Chain A
Amino acid sequence: MSRVLPLFRRSLADSWRGLLGWTAGVAAALLLYLPLYPSLGGGGQLQSMIDSMPPELVKTLGYDAIGTGAGYAQSTFFALVGFVLLTIAGVGWGTGAIANDEENGQLELTIAHGVSRGQVLAERSAAVLVKLAWLGLVAVVLVAVLNGPSELDIQFGALVATAAALVGLTALSASASIMVGAVSGRRSWALGAGAGVAVLGYVSNAIGNQTDDLAWLHDWSPYSWAFAGDPLTNGWDWQMWMLLAGVALFLVVGWLVFRRRDLTV
């Protein structure tokens, strides 16, 4: 009782090794991709390569604007590798928050102590979100550092907005995992929910990119909410707030069920 947020701190302390690994992964991706830009994009080589690819593929990957520094960083990292890395990390942590702990029987002991269910859910969710935000911060710092040497010409405000969009998008998957874990206590369901949100978002965005007839799919894709406004070029976009609203909704639903139900033991 002496210090605040015991479960939050325990959660971080239990997973710092993993966080270190994900940090290295994000750093490695950025350090591999971004320094290549001057030799690829600057000379127009990349654009001519993209032009020779099938247009459907280019639209699916979102490589339309790869000829600019912002477009390159967006296509290679934020919209692809970074998205995948943070999604996997977030879904893993989100599944660990309740479902994993419940299924392997450790949650029973914690719940039997002097904490409320809401406190467990809130502090562990906060730990997941903070860890994702940390990875977003790592991306911001590295892109900012590489911006000059790699001739990317990215505005700092737009960079922060894009990292926020990435964190928001992956937090949505993570909170889907937290919610389903809180509702069902099943590990596989929680994993599936988080991965499902990510995949459906990506796929509906990619299909929506193909023709104007299907552009309405963007309205339903969290991936589009994050990136359709091209935040690395244009900065903050109101649709990003839909991600936060989604996170809040998932966590509240998870809490409402979790506080009422039996622990599956």
Chain B
Amino acid sequence: MTASATPAITTRGLVKRYGSRTALHGIDLDIARGNVFGVIGPNGAGKTTTMRLLLDIIRPSGGELRVLGESPRSGGAALRQRIGYLPGELHLATRARGRDFLAHYAEISGPVRLGVVDSLAERLGLELGRPVRSLSKGNKQKLGLVQAFMHEPELLVLDEPTSGLDPLVQQEFLTMLREAKERGQTVFLSSHVLSEIQQAADEVAVLRAGRIVQVSTVAQLRESAVRRVRVVVPEPSAALVADTLERLPGITGVRRVADRPRAAAFEAQLDAHVDTFVKAVGRHELIDLTIEEPELEQAVLGLYNGAGGER
């Protein structure tokens, strides 16, 4: 693995149009070597389009694109040998057995070290002796993962890699990602399974309708996530607490809800100001206090819905 200084992926104003429909409206991305970079977004956001551009399966309508320091167009076959790609919709209808299928791609994009295919297949629980087209969706997906990983490429481009995989295999896949990162490989993956991005990725781009809504680290994204909080206080201090909540920074949508007798319950959304919140309500007598763990999902849904992160 060459630990070169060139970034794994750079795009500037990357545009892709299909006739009158614009799939990507000028994407800027910088993905450093050795990073695991996740991209999330709803269907049709442009995730798959971006990945296909990296592999020269489709060509940009505008903007700049460098993959491992080269343009996918001029880099050609030699560049693609350095990339492992798992398509989002994997269609495999060949009669060839899994082993022969992989041997074919190993010939094209290899070399593949001896034993790598078997060890990957074993880890994922994939049987290589059966005809590819008779495999279940999950097993085809495993085969797709093996062909992407087997030649230990500098860059892995994985479109919805865990779709169709059962939870145990998903865990194994996450381990494979960590190992790839340790070896210095760069990973660019898309997912709608947010927990997967949360566990695997260093950085996340949120894509919506062909635009990047936000690029941040997972930690930052979690910080921008909103937590649901619930405060239960004795009835007499209700007015006081309500007043405190209204004044606090980072608290929105305070509403009083029915709870137990002679008590007042308030629910609200809280952003990153956890410390201020706890200290402020801590001055009152509390019956109960709940802060739910922020879901990345909520943060992302916030980005999908509104413009830029507020709800």
Which of A's residues lie within 8 Å of B, judged by CB? Answer: 1-3, 6-7, 10, 13-14, 17, 104-106, 108-116, 119, 260, 262-263, 265
From B87-95, B217-225, B300-308, the one touching the partner chain is B87-95
Which B residues are CB-close (under 8 A) to A7? 108
When C-beta atoms are compared, the residue in chain A nearest to B157 turns out to be: A112
| Chain B contact patch, size range | 20 to 34
A10 near B87 with CB under 8 A, answer: no
Name the one of A14, A17, A115 contacting B94, with C-beta atoms under 8 angstroms.
A14
Interface centre among A1, A109, A113 (most CB of B within 10 A): A113
Q: CA A55 – CA B296 in complex, angstroms?
A: 82
For residue B85, give the distance in angstroms from its CB to the closest CB of chain A: 4
Q: CA A161 – CA B109 in complex, angstroms?
A: 41
A-B contact pairs, 19 of them (CB 8 A): A1-B110, A2-B107, A10-B96, A14-B94, A14-B96, A105-B87, A106-B91, A109-B147, A111-B55, A111-B57, A112-B83, A113-B105, A113-B108, A114-B77, A114-B80, A114-B81, A115-B77, A262-B57, A263-B52
Q: Is B248 among interface residues, defined by CB-CB distance under 8 A?
A: no
Known: A112-B87, A114-B81, A114-B108. A106 touches B59 (CB 8 A): no
For residue B9, give the distance in angstroms from its CB to the closest CB of chain A: 15
Known: A13-B96, A108-B57, A263-B58. A114 touches B85 (CB 8 A): no
For residue A259, give the distance in angstroms from its CB to the closest CB of chain B: 10
Which B residues are CB-close (under 8 A) to A115? 77, 80, 108
Closest 9 CB pairs of A and B: A105-B91, A114-B81, A262-B58, A114-B109, A112-B85, A6-B107, A112-B55, A113-B109, A113-B108
Q: CA A135 – CA B92 in complex, angstroms?
A: 29
For residue B108, give the distance in angstroms from its CB to the closest CB of chain A: 5
B57 near A263 with CB under 8 A, answer: yes
Which B residues are CB-close (under 8 A) to A265? 52, 57-58
Which B residues are CB-close (under 8 A) to A109? 85, 87, 90, 92, 105, 144, 147
A10 near B104 with CB under 8 A, answer: yes
Q: CA A7 – CA B104 in complex, angstroms?
A: 8
Which A residues are CB-close (under 8 A) to B93? 104, 106
Name the one of B77, B80, B91, B95 contacting A104, with C-beta atoms under 8 angstroms.
B91
Interface centre among B78, B96, B105 (most CB of A within 10 A): B105
Which of B's residues lie within 8 Å of A, judged by CB? Answer: 52, 55-59, 76-78, 80-81, 83, 85, 87, 89-96, 100, 104-105, 107-111, 144, 147
Which B residues are CB-close (under 8 A) to A260? 59
Q: CA A260 – CA B108 in complex, angstroms?
A: 21
Which B residues are CB-close (under 8 A) to A114? 77-78, 80-81, 108-109
Which A residues are CB-close (under 8 A) to B110? 1-2
> How many residue pairs between the two chains, A and B, have CB atoms under 8 Å in the bound complex?
80
When C-beta atoms are compared, the residue in chain A nearest to B83 turns out to be: A112
Which A residues are CB-close (under 8 A) to B104? 6, 10
For residue B271, give the distance in angstroms from its CB to the closest CB of chain A: 40
Q: CA A7 – CA B107 in complex, angstroms?
A: 9
When C-beta atoms are compared, the residue in chain B nearest to A1 turns out to be: B110
B87 near A1 with CB under 8 A, answer: no
When C-beta atoms are compared, the residue in chain B nearest to A106 turns out to be: B91
Known: A1-B108, A115-B77. A106 touches B94 (CB 8 A): yes
A14 near B95 with CB under 8 A, answer: yes
For residue A254, give the distance in angstroms from its CB to the closest CB of chain B: 18
Name the one of A3, A17, A108 contacting B87, with C-beta atoms under 8 angstroms.
A108
For residue B15, give the distance in angstroms from its CB to the closest CB of chain A: 14
B107 near A1 with CB under 8 A, answer: yes
Which A residues are CB-close (under 8 A) to B52? 108, 263, 265
When C-beta atoms are compared, the residue in chain B nearest to A16 turns out to be: B95
Q: CA A176 – CA B80 in complex, angstroms?
A: 29
Q: CA A3 – CA B90 in complex, angstroms?
A: 26
For residue B273, give the distance in angstroms from its CB to the closest CB of chain A: 46
Q: CA A106 – CA B144 in complex, angstroms?
A: 12
Q: CA A114 – CA B108 in complex, angstroms?
A: 5
Q: CA A14 – CA B55 in complex, angstroms?
A: 25
For residue A22, give the distance in angstroms from its CB to the closest CB of chain B: 17
Name the one of B77, B87, B89 contacting A116, with C-beta atoms under 8 angstroms.
B77
Q: CA A148 – CA B100 in complex, angstroms?
A: 45
Which B residues are CB-close (under 8 A) to A113? 77, 80-81, 85, 105, 108-109
Which B residues are CB-close (under 8 A) to A13? 96, 100
For residue A245, give the distance in angstroms from its CB to the closest CB of chain B: 29
Q: CA A109 – CA B87 in complex, angstroms?
A: 7
Which A residues are CB-close (under 8 A) to B57? 108, 111-112, 262-263, 265
Q: CA A115 – CA B85 in complex, angstroms?
A: 13
